[in-house]
Amino acid sequence: MTSISHIDFPSTKAIRLLAAVICSLLAASPAAAQDVDFSGFGATGMRSYNQHPDSKYTQEFYYEGKLQADITFSKDIEGQLDFRGASDDREVVLREFSVKFKYWTYAKIKFGNVKKPFSLEGLADRDEYIPVFDSYIHRRNSELGYAGRNVGLVVYYNYKKKRPQFPFSYAVGVFKNQSYVTSMYARGSWHAGDFITSLGYSQLARSHDNAITTHGMSFDAGYMGEAFESGIELFYVQDPDESIRRSLLNLDDEVFSTGAKSLSAFRLPIGGKVVHMIEPFLLVAYYVPDSEVTDYHTIEFMPGVNVFLDDDVRLRITADALYTKDRYSTEYNMLGSLFALEVFVKF
């Protein structure tokens, strides 16, 4: 039986900070003759973990929220502020600041603390992504440095159906983290109706001690319809941490990780007074930390369902089952698996 041993409450300081930011933005908008649009989400629920109860809690009740301000300075310049808060740390943090320049039709510029354009999942917003959790592969790519946010400059274009003569999306960017890692990304997509195919490339360059340059590739293809969507993503990335460790031991320092995942979802209209629509989904993934040793790997099954009480209000149920076999065990273990029940509201 799991025990409830981790419940956090928001600090007064965090609430005051968020209130001050909101009031400042509202007060500044009319004076500067700028348009400010607010959006965001709130979520609360319960997570149950499969881990040793003596080392960590096995169940938590949590909440989180996002407040985003999109600021229009002119028809060619926009800014964005993205604030996040969660019960994990009871703090409000500035997740993203960025400014966009839109002087050209097929080339826009974004500068700030922005997402790295490497994969579909990495580019999806929390309120757009179907499951509650990120996939195991995405979490690993983030730990290795291939996903997430950094301060960067990105030149990009997102396909629009009103311009069928150019059925492409692309993004090229250079990023720098808070220490000594510089990264470069290039991603291109081809659109054919509801079908999309993409290819991504990344290069990470660490300087100073244990300097190393690593590379990663991603590929995805999928169908994005109104009632059904399905896609597959493939990854082949070099592990910088393991590569450095092995080079210090005078071993082969090129260690590549391989991953594949598929996500499919159906949208079934109900039209009831309470339930508007249900969206069952299934994510299946396979991850090998060292492509030359396939005996050690992780298999992931993430079934779930989103129950829409309204277009912007949903009940989300997800189980993330991880089956891992590593050098320390001869059989699969399920450590790290979890279950979540969440109420999610966006505005």
Same domain, 92 and 139: no
pLDDT in tens, 175-206: 998 778 899 999 999 999 999 999 999 999 98
Q: Are 201 and 187 in contact, with CB atoms under 8 Å apart?
A: yes
* Residue 62 CB neighbours (<10 A): 17
* Residue 248 CB neighbours (<10 A): 10
Same domain, 155 and 97: no
Distance between CA atoms of residues 195 and 221, nearest Å: 8
CATH assignment of the domain containing 108: 2.40.160.10
Whether the per-residue pLDDT at 7 is higher than 50: the answer is no
Whether the per-residue pLDDT at 46 is higher than 50: the answer is yes
Distance between CA atoms of residues 250 and 265, nearest Å: 47
Q: Give the model's confidence band at 23: pLDDT under 50 very low, under 70 low, under 90 confident, else very high.
A: low
Same domain, 40 and 127: no
Same domain, 1 and 37: yes
Query: Residue 120: which H helix or E strand, with range?
Result: helix 120-123
Range of the domain at 57: 1-102
Same domain, 323 and 241: yes
The residues, ordered by sequence, that sit 6+ positions from 179 with a Cβ below 8 Å of its Cβ are: none
Mark which of 43, 74, 102 sits at the end of a domain: 102
For the record, the structure tokens of 124 come out as 């999806």
SS3 assignment, position 74: coil
Dihedral, CA of residue 126, residue 131, residue 136 and residue 141, to nearest 10: -30
pLDDT score for 5: 35
Q: Give the model's confidence band at 13: pLDDT under 50 very low, under 70 low, under 90 confident, else very high.
A: low
Same domain, 152 and 279: yes
pLDDT score for 53: 63
pTM equals 0.85
Cα–Cα distances in Å, from 86 out to 5, 62, 113? 17, 8, 19
Whether the per-residue pLDDT at 136 is higher than 50: the answer is yes
pLDDT score for 24: 54
Distance between CA atoms of residues 336 and 97, nearest Å: 32
Residue with tokens 């150019």: 166
Same domain, 71 and 163: no
Of the listed ranges 21-30, 148-157, 208-217, 326-335, the one predicted with least confidence: 21-30
Same domain, 258 and 121: yes
Same domain, 94 and 114: no
Closest CA to 80 of 36, 18, 20, 24: 36
Same domain, 194 and 283: yes
Same domain, 127 and 97: no
Q: Give the model's confidence band at 245: pLDDT under 50 very low, under 70 low, under 90 confident, else very high.
A: confident
Query: Residue 35: which H helix or E strand, with range?
Result: strand 35-49
Mark which of 58, 77, 102 sits at the end of a domain: 102
Number of domain units in the chain:
2
Torsional sign, CA 81, 82, 85, 88: negative
Q: Which residue has the higher pLDDT, 249 or 288?
A: 288
Same domain, 115 and 81: no
Mark which of 55, 76, 102 sits at the end of a domain: 102
Closest CA to 346 of 39, 36, 85, 46: 39
Beta strands, E only, 138-250? 149-157, 168-176, 181-192, 195-206, 212-224, 228-238
What letter represents residue 267's amino acid?
R
Whether the per-residue pLDDT at 29 is higher than 70: the answer is no
Q: Give the model's confidence band at 54: pLDDT under 50 very low, under 70 low, under 90 confident, else very high.
A: low
